[in-house]
């Protein structure tokens, strides 16, 4: 056999490609200025450049994933973890030992501890609280008065999360303080994450003082809740009891700091996301009265005219589709990030160890390649015979994989119930001074939605 006759073996792993670089970056800032100036438009256009693309953010190369299939592959792969500058600044403010920022065995253990409180069969136990809060929300409003949707949505979201997961009568008063603290913390946190001007945030300016006070109060409140539960000697079947009784890998009780950080790590994503989604639902009810009427008709057909109850939620198919469609067009979580822990690949593109990756559920969920009449509000696209046309992972508002939101059932139940309660009691109109433009922060929400409820 001559050397010439030996055929080179086909490589087992196909050659990986370098993701295309997106043009239009400027010196020093790269694409950063576009991302800051109009992040939603910027993220939505990236698919035109490729399935995986490279961006320059300042001196750093960041990878963006633009197709539903590859965002699913990213979320499901063990080659990527939660890490990076955004997460580090979050840890600095909210604590380093919570589930939302942990990785590896600690994250798996923490998920095992919290998961039972969110399982589908655990949700009915929260039904009466969700019901009470949904109706209390509409009963607080006087017909014709202007409602500030930001504070009202925050209030109901925090109250439901706190009362369901950290049960106890004392929560009623605490929930109010939590609302104020969380709303202020979220306002300041996004700025600190995207514009990390370290020392400037320490200056004794009114905005910094307000932020620091709210952050301190949030941590103090959580300490008070934990201490009071311990002092009461009660062990209701809830998330807080699960945390207080949890043990670590060695069978020892988990530390005080971890209990504290866990409560913070669950309350913070649990309030801002739900509150933002409720704001968009209120906006949708005001802007699409025909859909509001359909929701009302469905609810009345199911309830026969009595106040909607938690037990009705399962029968409210159309209302559920309205919630999903609203979350598609106006997702609370609009951007997610990961970091590669090893040299790896996505869709045949090379991703080096240490690379930061971003993707935008907002862009994915509005993509015309995935959705016919992509910008139209059409809840019927979620009917069984049409839903099959939607590509896998083109609608994963709670994500997939090991970081999937534990609260998907908990969230959908309360959002459907609240939408049903709102649409049966009122029609809504925007009032002068209302600003329903999209405000980009840690979540997406209307800037300052002001509505007038008109009794039906
Ligand atoms: C994680 C969305 C409500 C607690 C996540 C993630 C998404 C998400 C997309 C994954 C983040 C990632 O992949 O990096 C939402 C939406 C909600 C919602 C759209 C409501 C509309 C809630 C609520 C709670 C909650 C009510 C708790 C009361 C968490 C926690 C994590 C998480 C603890 C971190 C999970 C982990 O890293 O293992 N959420 N969420 N979320 N969510 Fe939610």
Question: Do 34 and 177 have their domain in common?
Answer: no
Confidence of residue 12 (pLDDT cuts 50, 70, 90): low
Task: Please check the confidence at residue 195 and state whether its pLDDT lies above 70.
Answer: no
CA gap 394, 405 in Å, rounded: 16
Instruction: Kindly state whether residue 301 falls inside one of the protein's structural domains.
Output: yes
Angle at 405 between CA 19 and CA 346, to 5 degrees: 15
Domain that holds residue 375: 16-88+338-391
pLDDT the model gives residue 197 = 65
Residue 446 has phi, psi (to 5 degrees) of -65, 150
Mean pLDDT for 83-98 is 82
Task: Please check the confidence at residue 13 and state whether its pLDDT lies above 60.
Answer: no
DSSP readout, 153-171?
A: HHHHHHHHHHHHHS-STTH
Instruction: Kindly state whether residue 5 falls inside one of the protein's structural domains.
Output: no
Q: Is 193 in the pocket of ligand 1 (CB under 6 A)?
A: no
Question: Do 309 and 168 have their domain in common?
Answer: yes
Q: What is the CATH number of the domain that holds 181?
A: 1.10.630.10
Q: What is the CATH number of the domain that holds 346?
A: 3.30.43.20
pLDDT the model gives residue 237 = 87
CA nearest ligand 1 atom 5, residue: 405
Give the tens place of pLDDT for each residue, 288-341: 999 999 999 999 999 999 999 999 999 999 999 999 999 999 999 999 999 999
Lowest-pLDDT range of 84-93, 179-188, 351-360: 84-93
Question: Do 167 and 182 have their domain in common?
Answer: yes
Question: Do 56 and 172 have their domain in common?
Answer: no
Domain boundary among 350, 372, 391: 391
Question: Do 277 and 154 have their domain in common?
Answer: yes
CA gap 291, 288 in Å, rounded: 5
**Number of domains comprising the chain:** 2
Check: CB of residue 331 under 8 Å from CB of residue 323: no
Give the tens place of pLDDT for each residue, 152-178: 999 999 999 989 998 866 667 777 888
Instruction: Kindly state whether residue 316 falls inside one of the protein's structural domains.
Output: yes
Q: Is 328 in the pocket of ligand 1 (CB under 6 A)?
A: no
Question: Do 191 and 116 have their domain in common?
Answer: yes
Sheet containing 52-57: order of strands: 52-57, 60-65, 356-359, 336-340, 80-81
| 318 Cβ contact list (under 8 Å, min separation 6) | 294, 295, 298, 379
CA nearest ligand 1 atom 13, residue: 403
Domain boundary among 391, 409, 434: 391
Residue 423: Cβ-neighbour burial (10 angstroms; 0-12, 13-18, 19+): buried
Question: Do 380 and 418 have their domain in common?
Answer: no
Q: Is 405 in the pocket of ligand 1 (CB under 6 A)?
A: yes
CA gap 38, 174 in Å, rounded: 37
CA gap 337, 101 in Å, rounded: 12
Q: So what's the ipTM on this one?
A: 0.99
Output 128 or 441, whichever has higher pLDDT: 128
Taking the CA of residue 397 as reference, the ligand 1 atom at the shortest distance is 19
Sheet containing 147-148: order of strands: 147-148, 450-455, 426-430
Lowest-pLDDT range of 88-92, 105-109, 229-233: 88-92
CA gap 71, 394 in Å, rounded: 9
Task: Please check the confidence at residue 94 and state whether its pLDDT lies above 60.
Answer: yes
Residue positions forming the annotated binding site for heme: 405
Q: HSE-up of 329 (CA within 13 Å, CB side)?
A: 20
Q: Is 439 in the pocket of ligand 1 (CB under 6 A)?
A: no
Question: Do 158 and 255 have their domain in common?
Answer: yes
Please give the share of the chain, as a percent, with pLDDT higher than 70: 94
Question: Do 63 and 196 have their domain in common?
Answer: no
Instruction: Kindly state whether residue 7 falls inside one of the protein's structural domains.
Output: no
CA nearest ligand 1 atom 17, residue: 273
| Secondary structure element (H or E) that encloses residue 346, with its range | strand 344-346
Ligand 1 centroid, distance to 20 Cα (angstroms) = 31
Question: Do 33 and 164 have their domain in common?
Answer: no
Question: Do 65 and 173 have their domain in common?
Answer: no
pLDDT the model gives residue 363 = 98
pLDDT the model gives residue 282 = 98
Give the tens place of pLDDT for each residue, 262-271: 999 888 888 9
Instruction: Kindly state whether residue 8 falls inside one of the protein's structural domains.
Output: no
CA nearest ligand 1 atom 2, residue: 398
Q: Is 443 in the pocket of ligand 1 (CB under 6 A)?
A: no
Question: Do 246 and 300 have their domain in common?
Answer: yes
Domain boundary among 372, 391, 410: 391
């Amino acid at each position: 056999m001559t050397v010439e006759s030996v055929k080179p073996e086909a490589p087992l792993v196909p050659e990986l490609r370098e993701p295309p670089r997106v043009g239009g970056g400027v010196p020093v800032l790269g694409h950063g200025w576009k991302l800051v100036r109009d992040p939603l438009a910027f993220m939505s256009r990236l698919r035109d450049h490729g399935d995986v693309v490279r961006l320059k953010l300042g001196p750093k190369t960041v990878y963006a994933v633009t197709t539903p299939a590859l965002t699913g592959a990213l979320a499901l792969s063990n080659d990527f973890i939660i890490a990076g500058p955004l997460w580090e600044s979050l840890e600095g403010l909210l604590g380093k030992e919570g589930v939302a920022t942990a990785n590896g065995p600690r994250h798996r253990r923490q998920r095992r501890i919290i998961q039972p409180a969110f399982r589908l069969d655990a949700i009915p136990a929260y039904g009466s609280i969700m019901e009470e809060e949904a109706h209390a929300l509409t009963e607080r409003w006087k017909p014709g008065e202007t409602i500030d949707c930001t504070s009202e949505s925050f209030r109901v979201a925090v109250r439901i999360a706190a009362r369901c997961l950290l049960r106890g009568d004392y929560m009623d008063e605490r929930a109010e303080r939590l609302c104020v603290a969380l709303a202020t913390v979220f306002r300041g946190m996004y700025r600190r994450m995207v514009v990390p001007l370290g020392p400037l945030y320490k200056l004794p300016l009114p905005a910094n003082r307000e932020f620091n006070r709210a952050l301190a109060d949030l941590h103090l409140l959580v300490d008070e809740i934990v201490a009071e539960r311990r002092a009461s000697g009660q062990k209701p079947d809830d998330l807080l009891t699960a945390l207080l009784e949890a043990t670590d890998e060695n069978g020892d009780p988990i530390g005080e700091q971890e209990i504290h950080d866990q409560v913070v790590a669950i309350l913070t994503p649990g309030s801002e996301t739900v509150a933002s989604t409720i704001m968009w639902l209120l906006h949708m009810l005001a802007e699409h009265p025909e859909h509001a009427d359909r929701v009302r008709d469905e609810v009345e057909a199911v309830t026969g005219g009595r106040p909607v109850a938690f037990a009705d939620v399962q029968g409210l198919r159309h209302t559920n589709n309205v919630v999903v469609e609203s979350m598609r067009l106006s997702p609370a979580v609009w951007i997610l990030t990961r970091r590669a822990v090893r040299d790896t690949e996505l869709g045949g593109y090379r991703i080096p160890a240490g690379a930061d990756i971003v993707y935008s559920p907002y862009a994915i969920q509005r993509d015309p390649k995935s959705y016919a009449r992509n910008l139209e509000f059409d809840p019927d696209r979620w009917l069984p015979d049409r839903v099959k046309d939607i590509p896998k992972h083109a609608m994963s508002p709670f994500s997939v994989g090991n970081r999937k939101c534990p609260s998907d059932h908990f969230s959908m139940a309360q959002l459907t119930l609240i939408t049903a309660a709102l649409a049966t009691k009122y029609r809504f109109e925007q009032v002068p001074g209302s600003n329903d433009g999209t405000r980009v922060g840690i979540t997406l929400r209307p800037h300052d939605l002001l509505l007038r409820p008109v009794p039906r």
